[in-house]
């Protein structure tokens, strides 16, 4: 097993110490239920053919069909996919969704593909994994460098293979193909709801609290936009090139508009004298709330001691390593973990799946109300577990999720018929 996966499994061991749980539950969760690697042979625009490595992992389906995104990134490998599927298993349990965790990916740089090549790659993925996925087995969704358009190609290809329309096989689709309203801002909104409803316990207030967001994709933008609308001061954002910092704050809409027009953060309007800083420096710049919303492993042992925020809201998957966790916990930094903070996306994906199954679609207000009805109580439960057991919120979230997963596994039957 790879280093990333082994680090992720440490969370399982830590949580298990705080529960009276059957050892067979832990044994079942040590490894994924099912993994598949495939080689996608894709015809390029120049007539040549190229092979792209592709992966899919179904980690655990004790609570229902597996659920998780498909990412396109040059660094995608099985170790990463297994780790992400492991996290998804616990994330779905935190939100009490009837899903297990899955994940998939293709090792590809999408910036080097034409739109036609991207479509052929996406359809090739579905052909390779058509027997692995399914609306009652494993339900993909968008992830890094995939979007509604890609999901539209994929659901079309799957429907062609099975011979009938099957919108529930994939979520994150365009509205016209059965997608759900409210999905675009769901992950950022979920993180926003968690922070707002824990702010008293975390000693935050919109009038006084400064926020730095690492990343400025869809998730980061919506969280920043919603917090700014409530009075939080957004002091920093970043993209893959650099960060933009201004202690006087900035308007996320104005920054996004500038980036859309120029492709850069440099020169974006801010409320004071904004300046460009490195991504590394932005992570350790003084603020009250740091929101890592980009890649994994951003807060590590080497920089954790220099993180100046009192609260970290993890909107990325796995942005903080276990070694960094230990340092931050000793410093008294509160980490709202990814499996809680960014669960809004999979929650609204669940809503989309339910609507596809029923053939009945909800309005935006109902989607947002149902999202709040899930995110807020779970955040308060996890905070209470952390307080009552005197553990950090990440451990509390894993304890909460593991308890639910363990009960599902036990209900399936963990003991041998021949056990004494």
- Mind listing the pLDDT tens digit for each residue in 307-341? 999 999 999 999 999 999 999 999 999 999 999 99
Q: pLDDT at position 108, please? A: 98
- Work out the average pLDDT over 220-249: 95
10 against 40, higher pLDDT: 40
Residue % of the chain over a pLDDT of 90: 88
Q: pLDDT at position 415, please? A: 55
pLDDT surpasses 70 at 414: no
- Mind listing the pLDDT tens digit for each residue in 127-152? 999 999 999 999 999 999 999 999 99
Q: pLDDT at position 4, please? A: 86
Residue % of the chain over a pLDDT of 70: 98
The mean of the pLDDT values for the chain is 95
413 against 150, higher pLDDT: 150
pLDDT surpasses 70 at 420: no
- Mind listing the pLDDT tens digit for each residue in 35-89? 999 999 999 999 999 999 999 999 999 999 999 999 999 999 999 999 999 999 9
- Work out the average pLDDT over 230-255: 95
C-alpha–C-alpha distance, residues 250 and 235, integer Å: 6
Instruction: Give me the domains of the chain, ranges plus CATH numbers.
Output: 32-177 (3.40.50.10860), 186-341 (3.40.50.720)
17 tagged catalytic = no
Q: pLDDT at position 417, please? A: 45
| Catalytic option among 33, 103, 173, 225 | 103
pLDDT class of 13 with cuts at 50, 70, 90 = confident
- Mind listing the pLDDT tens digit for each residue in 351-396? 999 999 999 999 999 999 999 999 999 999 999 999 999 999 999 9
pLDDT class of 412 with cuts at 50, 70, 90 = confident
């Amino acid at each position: 097993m790879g280093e990333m996966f082994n680090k992720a499994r440490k969370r399982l061991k830590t949580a298990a110490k705080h529960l009276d749980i059957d050892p067979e539950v832990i044994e079942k969760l040590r490894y994924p239920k099912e993994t598949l690697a495939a080689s996608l042979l894709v015809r390029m625009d120049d007539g040549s053919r190229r092979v792209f490595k592709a992966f899919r992992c179904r980690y655990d389906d004790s609570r229902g069909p597996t659920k998780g995104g498909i990412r396109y990134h040059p660094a995608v490998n099985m170790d990463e996919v297994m780790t992400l599927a492991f996290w998804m298993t616990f994330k779905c349990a935190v939100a009490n969704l009837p899903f297990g965790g899955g994940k998939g990916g293709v090792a590809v740089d999408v910036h080097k593909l034409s739109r036609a090549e991207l479509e052929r790659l996406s359809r090739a993925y579905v052909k390779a994994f058509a027997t692995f996925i399914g609306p009652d087995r494993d339900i993909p969704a968008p992830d890094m460098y995939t979007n509604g358009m890609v999901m539209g190609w994929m659901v079309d290809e799957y429907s062609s293979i099975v011979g009938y329309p099957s919108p529930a096989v994939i979520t994150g689709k365009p509205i016209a193909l059965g997608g759900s309203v409210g999905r675009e801002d769901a992950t950022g909104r979920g993180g926003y709801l968690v922070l707002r409803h824990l702010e008293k316990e975390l000693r935050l207030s919109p009038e006084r609290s400064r926020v730095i967001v690492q990343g400025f994709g869809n998730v980061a933008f919506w969280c920043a936009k919603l917090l700014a609308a409530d009075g939080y001061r957004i002091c920093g954002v970043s993209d893959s090139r650099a960060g933009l910092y201004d202690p006087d704050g900035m308007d996320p809409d104005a920054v996004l508009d500038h980036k859309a027009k120029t492709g850069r953060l440099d020169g974006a309007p801010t409320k004071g004298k904004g300046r460009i800083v490195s991504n590394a420096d932005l992570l350790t710049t003084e603020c009250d709330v740091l929101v890592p919303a980009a890649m994994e492993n951003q807060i590590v042992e080497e920089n954790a001691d220099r993180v100046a925020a009192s609260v970290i809201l993890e909107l990325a998957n796995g942005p903080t390593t276990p070694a960094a966790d230990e340092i931050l916990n000793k410093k008294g930094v509160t980490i709202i973990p990814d499996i809680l903070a960014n669960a809004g996306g999979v929650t609204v994906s669940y809503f989309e799946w339910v609507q596809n199954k029923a053939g009945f679609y909800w309005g935006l207000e109902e989607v947002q109300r149902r999202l709040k009805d899930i995110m807020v109580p779970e955040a308060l439960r996890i905070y209470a577990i952390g307080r009552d057991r005197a553990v950090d919120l990440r451990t509390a979230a894993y304890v909460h999720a593991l308890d639910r997963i363990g009960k599902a596994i036990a209900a399936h039957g963990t003991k041998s018929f021949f056990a004494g």
